[in-house]
Structure 1
Amino acid sequence: MDSLGVSSYRFSISWARILPRGRFGDVNKAGISYYNKLIDSLLLRGIQPFVTLVHYDIPQELEERYGGNIQAIKSYRTGEYPPCRCSVPFGNCTHGDSEKEPFIAAHNMILAHATAVDIYRSKYQKEQGGNIGIVLDCIWFEQISNSTADMLAADRAEDFFQNWFLDPIIFGNYPEEMSKILGSNLPRFSRNDKEKLKNGLDFIGINHYTSEYVQDCIFSVCEPGTGASWTEGLARRSQEKDGVPIGKPTDVDWLHIYPQGMEKMVTYIKKRYNNTPMIITENGYGQLNNPNLTIVCHDTERVEYISAYWDFLLLAMEKGADVRGYFAWSLLDNFEWSYGYTQRYGLYHVDYTTLKRTPKLSATWFKEFIAGYKVEESQM
């Protein structure tokens, strides 16, 4: 990272590393020491730590007692991730209710965020001088036609995606359209909850990779698919329009290249949330694993992807969006959730047998860009 020239590093603190037995047993001092060494080493090189407190993994004791709360949608609607709860037609699980449980899980995530912020604000922020926020997956939803119905559907899709979490944290309530459609299926915040939610956040972290088309399912008949049900906002999502993809396909089935979505997403959040400071916490290009090191390291597609997304991010900033930083996903090739080691996102290639790290073309380009920007900045 030092040779690359980056000024900040985003990493997560594993609960299991700090609390191996969950609520039982002692704090793992070796885990604390590991993170202290990492943070000290970053600071010695002028690299600011950007810490994610929760990035899915939890101690096994909590998994066995409560079930892993990894994602509201993939864990409690489709059942793809632990604790694998869902119901027909969203998935075929042994337990779960896809029309109710995602909203209960999300509600508890929001309250957990509010509690963590409350503790940080009251006990640590003044002494540490840090900022606290939340990171969300943010997909830009493009209306599939110019009709008013599809325009409203695109708005509903945003409500049932990141606004589902951001509205309560910033405004104290769920989006109006969610409440209207879901009724009693949507939990309510108590007066005490709302007091905690007033602490809000200092920044919004945006994980943005791709965009999708959205079709209205209230006034028109939709084929079954993601977003088409009433508990998903009656806004069917698709990566294609009349058989044409929204952007150039990649090796990753869900990732199409649509850089203008970056500007639209950032501008949307700017307008809706009063230009709360934003940080692009993830943006990157995935490729399938290839044994040919030369091909993998000559990753011109990744360079073109990041460059195009940066261009549109700059457009949003020139229009006044308060964007404070950008993190590429990822520094190194790593274990990509359910895809394992089959996909590579890193600027540096990792040999998973020897752990040797080799800079890709994207790392060289990234370094040159940062160096050029710093020179430009110093001349202003």
Structure 2
Amino acid sequence: MLRVSLLLCFLLTIESVSSSTDNFCRDDFPPAPAFVFGASSSAYQVEGAAAEDGRTPSIMDTCAHAGHFHGATGDVACDTYHKYKEDVQLMADTGLEAYRFSISWSRLIPNGKGPVNPKGLQYYNNLIDQLISHGIQPHVTLHHSDLPQALDDEYGGWVSRKIVKDFTAYADVCFKNFGDRVLHWTTMNEPNVFVLGGYDTGFLPPQRCSIPFGLNCSRGNSSTEPYLATHNILLSHASAARLYKKNYQDKQRGFIGINLFAFWFFPRTKTIEDELATQRGFDFYIGWYLNPLVFGDYPDVMKKNAGSRIPFFTRLESQSVKGSFDFIGFNYYLAVYAEDNSISLKNTNRDYIADSAMKRIGLQNDTTFEFPITPWGLQRLLEYVKQNYGNPPIYIHENGQRTRRNSSLEDWPRVKYLDGHIQALLEAVRNGSNVRGYFVWSFLDSLELLDGYESSYGLYYIDLDDPDLRRQPKLSAHWYSQFLKRKNVISLDGFIKSLSHDRVQ
């Protein structure tokens, strides 16, 4: 039977959110630190200095140097490794209350396990101290698709149970050295996409797949490894969370969670087949992780469709994973249609995508570069989680608009996107969703996994041909800054009128 909350989507139109929040301000949300607004990044996408001061390659380096990010690499990227002081000052000038970044495991522990790199330790200590000195709350992610290549070479990384011990030891180093100042820890960034792209279709690192599901992979098994990697990721998360809660949380007073990528799915047609496919979409994309975390086991439809290919939780494993979080992070960008593809279940050789028996269809022509602006999807996603998973504390860790990198600094599509989504978030908060923060992706234009340097999500533009990599504010940076700083209401009309007066210095 379909869940009652899913049926709500048929009663709502797919138009932009219409509410009384056309004029809104920062003070309509709870004050910091109860609710924070910030921006996000990840280590490989912004740090640069890829071979400096003891850092060794990660699977991201390997994938980039094989030419899979449109020929782009993170060797230099935004060079935040050297420019972190300048960037933190820019964050403060913009008015950020929090900054979400990831730690490069192979910069901190070059072999993935064993001795800590003093230079790496110093860099992250310096960055954290710089943020705190400017009143900016650090939110740290431990794994953002950049497993040390040494561990992938040694035992296959996330497909091996050995990873649980090594990830927990890495997390322990971070808690021990940074936990006196870092209060928000995220173990994994969108592992549901990481395993789909890295172990099924093979278009993301570590590029494991098998024919016919993925191409150009020299190793892997698309039928089993996405499920196996997910199982080990959940066990690794639970192990690190258990360690934090046992040894550090009482003293450091922090929080630990995990992050997931989420679409809002809605049926392509009003047929029962597409309605059921929509529910499978939620179960396969979100329930794959949230069900074990909240209820202790995978969704029934996943166990039925994947059969023996999906690992089972022992009683102790289930108890360890269940409840092993203080918050859930979501990366949300857009809503998509779900269409039934049950015919895929007739195939004897299936991967995760075939098991889901669902096609994901975009709302607009694939040749359109920018995302459709669907803030109502964010609002309904939060309502769905509230109704089905007990309304856990939530952070929107990524939300942003994709544009071409060399487009104008007058990025109106991004301004309209942020305006709509923050309004929708306000409505969700007023309706009782337990949201604690919102982070724009991204603070700076950076290396993107799907487009290299051809696309842009940043509030600030960086000319890669400029030796100094000067940061230039876009219109969206001015809009976000005005939203964060002004006490009076803000609207797009009001923002237009204020452009000549309220510019980020």
Tell me if structure 2 keeps the 8 A contact 1:20–1:28: yes
| 1:140 maps to 2:264 | yes
Tell me, yes or no, if structure 1 residue 344 matches structure 2 residue 456: yes
The residue number in structure 2 matching 1:251 is 369
Distance 1:256 1:126, change over 3 A: same
What's the counterpart of residue 131 of structure 1? 255
Match of 2:97 in 1: 7
Contact 1:77 1:91 survives alignment (8 Å): yes
Unaligned stretches of 5+ in structure 1?
none
User: Residue 280 of structure 1 aligns to which amino acid in structure 2?
Assistant: I
Contact 1:249 1:257 in 2 (8 A): no
Mapped pair 1:307 → 2:307: no
Provide the C-alpha distance between the structure 2 equivalents of 1:362 and 1:230, rounded to a whole number of angstroms.
Answer: 36
d(CA) in 1 for partners of 2:204, 2:353: 22
Q: Secondary structure of 2:413's partner?
A: helix
- Could you give the per-residue CA deviations for residues 180-210 of structure 1, whole angstroms, max 9, x where no partner exists? 2222111001122122113421111010001
Q: Give secondary structure in 2 for the equivalent of 1:315.
A: helix
Q: In the alignment, which residue of structure 1 is the partner of 2:297?
A: 173
Inter-partner Cα distance in structure 2 for 1:359 and 1:221: 47
Q: Which amino acid aligns with 2:201?
A: T
CA contact (8 A) 1:212 1:238 kept: yes
Residue number in structure 2 paired with 1:40: 129
Q: 1:30 to 1:166 in 2, by over 3 A?
A: same
Instruction: Give the TM-score of the pair, scaled to structure 2.
Output: 0.67
CA drift at 1:179: 1.3
Give the 5 Å matches for 1:63-74: 63-67=152-156, 69=158, 71-74=194-197
Q: CA–CA distance in 2 between the matches of 1:216 and 1:259?
A: 24
Give the match's secondary structure for 1:349: strand
Offset at 1:142?
A: 1.1
Q: Matched residues in 2 for 1:44 and 1:249: separation?
A: 44
Aligned CA RMSD, in angstroms, stands at 2.4
Counterpart of 2:396?
Answer: 280
Deviations 1:233-276 (A, max 9, x none): 11111115xxxx28x97525xx4332211111111111111110
Match of residue 321, structure 2, among 197, 207, 210: 197
Q: Which amino acid aligns with 1:43?
A: I
Pairs within 5 Å for 1:154-169? 154-169=278-293
Work out whether residues 145 and 205 of structure 2, in 8 Å CA contact, stay in contact via their aligned partners in 1: no
Tell me the residue number matched to 1:83: 206
* Structure 1 residues 134 and 47: CA distance shift in structure 2, 3 A: same
Q: Give the one of 463, 473, 480 matched to 1:359.
A: 473
Residue of structure 2 in register with 1:333 after alignment: 445
Corresponding letter in the other structure for 1:29: P
Structure 2: runs of 5 or more not aligned: 1-90, 159-190, 491-505
The structure, 1 or 2, with the larger RCO (C-alpha pairs under 8 Å, 6+ apart) is 2
Kindly state the Cα deviation for residue 89 of structure 1 after the two structures are TM-superposed: 2.5
Counterpart position of 1:372: 486
CA distance in 1, matches of 2:157, 2:335: 28
CA distance in 2 between partners of 1:13 and 1:170 (Å):
27
Paired residue for 1:27? 116
Change beyond 3 A, Cα 1:34–1:261: same
Q: Which segment is superposed worse, 193-202 or 151-160?
A: 193-202
> What is the alpha-carbon distance in structure 2 between the residues aligned to residue 311 and residue 83 of structure 1?
37
Which amino acid in 2 is paired with 1:176?
Answer: D
- The yes-or-no answer on 1:111 pairing with 2:227 is no
- 1:12 is matched by which residue type in structure 2? S
SS in 1 for 2:418: helix
Asked if the contact 2:200/2:351 (under 8 Å) is kept, the reply is no
1:153-173 deviations in whole A, cap 9, x for unaligned? 101011111210111111100
CA contact (8 A) 1:283 1:329 kept: yes
**2:94 partner letter:** L
SS of residue in 2 equivalent to 1:2 = helix
**Partner Cα separation in structure 1 for residue 487 and residue 308 of structure 2:** 52
SS of the equivalent of 2:292 reads: helix
Match for 2:376 among 226, 238, 260?
Answer: 260
CA distance, structure 1, for counterparts of residue 135 and residue 219 of structure 2:
49
The 8 Å contact of residues 344 and 354 in structure 2, kept in 1 or not, is answered as: no
Letter in 2 for 1:286: R
Secondary structure of the structure 2 residue equivalent to 1:237:
strand
Letter of the aligned partner of 2:106 in structure 1?
A: A
1:327 aligns to what SS in structure 2? Answer: strand
CA contact (8 A) 1:118 1:199 kept: no
TM-score (norm 1): 0.89
Cα distance, 1:318 vs structure 2: 1.8
1:55 equivalent in alignment to 2:173: no
Write the distance in 1 (CA, Å) between the matches of 2:247 and 2:351: 44
Q: Is the 8 A contact 2:395 2:436 kept in 1?
A: yes
Other structure's SS at 2:93 match: coil
Structure 2 residue 437 is the aligned partner of structure 1 residue 319: no
Secondary structure, aligned partner of 2:305 = helix
SS at match of 2:333: coil
Equivalents in 2 of 1:83, 1:37: separation in Å?
30
Q: 1:362–1:95: structure 2 CA closer, same or farther, 3 Å change rule?
A: same
Residue 303 of structure 2 is aligned to residue 214 of structure 1: no
Does the 8 Å contact 1:217/1:228 carry over to 2? Answer: no
- After alignment, is 189-198 or 281-290 more displaced? 189-198
Cα deviation code 1:304-325 (max 9, x no counterpart): 1111112222222221111110
Cα distance in 2 for residues equivalent to 1:74 and 1:300: 31
The residue type equivalent to 2:361 in the other structure is: S
| Percent identity over paired residues | 42
